[in-house]
Amino acid sequence: MTELRWRIAIGADDAGLDYKELIRGDLERDDRVVDVIDVGVHATDSAPMPYPNVAHRAAELVADGAVDRAVLICGTGIGMAISANQVVGVRAMTAHDSYSCERSVLSNDCQVLTLGQRVVGAELARRLVREWLGYVFDPTSPSRDKVRLIEEYEQRLSSPET
């Protein structure tokens, strides 16, 4: 069996910049990752970028197929998840523990992991990202029908009225 090789977008607001830099380095050294696209913020930016702008940018890359997954970090992870979930076709969640991280992919086919720099320690955040990269949604699982319902609802919302 061939191991997946991920294309990953990573982003943060000012409250998640330190973890973004740490995790970006981990991703760049991970053999499972072939490309890391940094969507901001950067320490050299002259003005802060609001987390919705960062999350939308990364989620659009996922939705367009330019990347497979994204990791987003803000103070709590919540704002990033809410913002990324506004992009049709994207499922984002905030993880604070290994089990939620696992189930986000195996039960919900989430492509975006969000973390809170003010909520979890750096080593736990790094561990969650490593674990998350190892999970792949099984389209034959019983969860597939539930994910399909999410996708169908999104399609109804995004389709023009007839």
Catalytic residues: 74
- Please return the burial class of 142, using the count of CB atoms within 10 Å of its CB with bins 0-12, 13-18 and 19+: exposed
DSSP-assigned letter for residue 50:
-
CA end-to-end span of the chain: 45
Q: Are 113 and 70 in contact (CB under 8 A)?
A: yes
Nearest-angstrom CA–CA distance, 37 and 39: 6
Q: Are 84 and 90 in contact (CB under 8 A)?
A: yes
Which residues are 38's β-sheet partners? 10
